[in-house]
Amino acid sequence: MSLSSLAVVPAAEAHAASLSVTVCYNLLARPEPGVMPRVVELFAKRGLVPQKWHSAVSDSGLAIEVQMGGLERDTADYIARCMRQIVGVETVLTTETHPFG
């Protein structure tokens, strides 16, 4: 690959692109009353309101899906690590969606 074929993205554009990413957290936890407030607290103490929150209890446990846009990757990864430390949380999976264009 030659240097002429490499795309150089200015730092401001790279930062803007990272903020346009939506992170989806999918959690599976024990159906205990303290799990949901502990998860939402991770956003609230940063002054963030998730774009989407869905939770449901089934035979397999408490499933929570949270979508949050505008997070930088380091922050998104840190929140996922914190979720994994919450008592009762068994699994945390994350995905990212990028806008088209």
pLDDT surpasses 60 at 2: no
pLDDT at 101: 56
Give the mean pLDDT of 9-38.
Answer: 78
How is domain 13-97 classified at the architecture level of CATH? Answer: 2-Layer Sandwich (3.30)
Query: Burial, 57: exposed, middle or buried (Cβ in 10 Å; 0-12, 13-18, 19+)?
Result: exposed
Domain limits, the chain: 13-97
**CA angle centred on 100, ends 69 and 52, rounded to 5°:** 30
How much is the pTM? 0.77
Q: Picking from 8-22, 50-64, 78-92, which range would have the lowest pLDDT averaged per residue?
A: 8-22
CB 94 within 8 A of CB 79: no
pLDDT at 5: 46
pLDDT at 82: 98
pLDDT interval class at 50 (50, 70, 90)? very high
Would you state the structure tokens that stand for residue 54, as one six-digit string?
């869905």
